[in-house]
């Protein structure tokens, strides 16, 4: 089974392999929530690689989203699906839409 960190590292690798101008453009147009889901399992030094691509404005908002991810319980499967989507977003001929559709709230068995 792929861990959230493994999936995030593959995305990080794809972001570094893509031409810088493509990676920067696509990441700047990616929802902060999607990027934060992938940045959360990474170490701060690894996150810096993405922050360097997106600039200070988006970095500031991403850091806030990464902090909020500490309160979200995303499964490794969800993070893997987001990572695959964003890898395709970076590698494809055309940009893709948001990956946020993979965020679904957990059902509370006691809640009706």
Q: Which of 106, 48, 46, 98 is nearest to 77 (CA)?
A: 106
* Residue among 54, 62, 78 at smallest CA distance from 1: 78
Residue 103 lies inside a defined structural domain of this protein: no
What pLDDT is recorded for position 89? 87
**How far is the CA of 23 from the CAs of 6, 62, 73, 112, in angstroms?**
20, 16, 28, 43
- Segments forming the whole domain that contains residue 83: 4-96
**pLDDT-based confidence at residue 2 (cuts at 50, 70, 90):** confident
Asked whether residue 85 is domain-assigned, the answer is yes
- Establish if 101 belongs to a structural domain: no
pLDDT at 105: 47
* 10 falls within a domain: yes
Would residue 53 be called left, alpha or beta, if left means φ above 0 and alpha means ψ between -120 and 50 degrees?
A: alpha
Residue 106 gets which letter from DSSP?
A: P
107 inside domain: no
pLDDT for 91 equals 87
Answer yes or no: is 106 within a domain: no
Q: What total number of domains does the chain contain?
A: 1
pLDDT (tens digit, 9 = 90+) per residue, 3-39?
A: 999 999 999 999 999 999 999 999 999 999 999 999 9
Confidence of residue 96 (pLDDT cuts 50, 70, 90): low
**Residue 13 belongs to a domain:** yes
**What's the mean pLDDT in 100-106?**
52
Percentage of the chain surpassing pLDDT 90? Answer: 66
51 within some domain: yes
User: Nearest-5° angle of CA 109, CA 39, CA 4?
Assistant: 55
d(CA 93, CA 30): 16
In degrees, rounded to 5, the angle at the alpha carbon of residue 108 between the alpha carbons of residues 103 and 112 is 115
């Amino acid at each position: 089974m792929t861990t959230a960190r493994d999936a995030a590292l593959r995305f990080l690798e794809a972001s570094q392999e893509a031409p810088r101008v493509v990676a920067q453009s696509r990441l700047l147009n990616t929802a902060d929530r999607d990027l934060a889901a992938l940045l959360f399992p990474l170490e701060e030094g690894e996150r810096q690689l993405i922050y360097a691509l997106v600039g200070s404005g988006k970095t500031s908002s991403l850091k806030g989203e990464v902090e909020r991810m500490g309160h979200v319980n995303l499964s490794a499967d969800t993070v893997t699906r987001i990572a695959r989507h964003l890898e395709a977003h970076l590698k494809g001929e055309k940009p893709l839409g948001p990956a946020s559709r993979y965020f679904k709230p957990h059902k509370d068995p006691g809640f009706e």
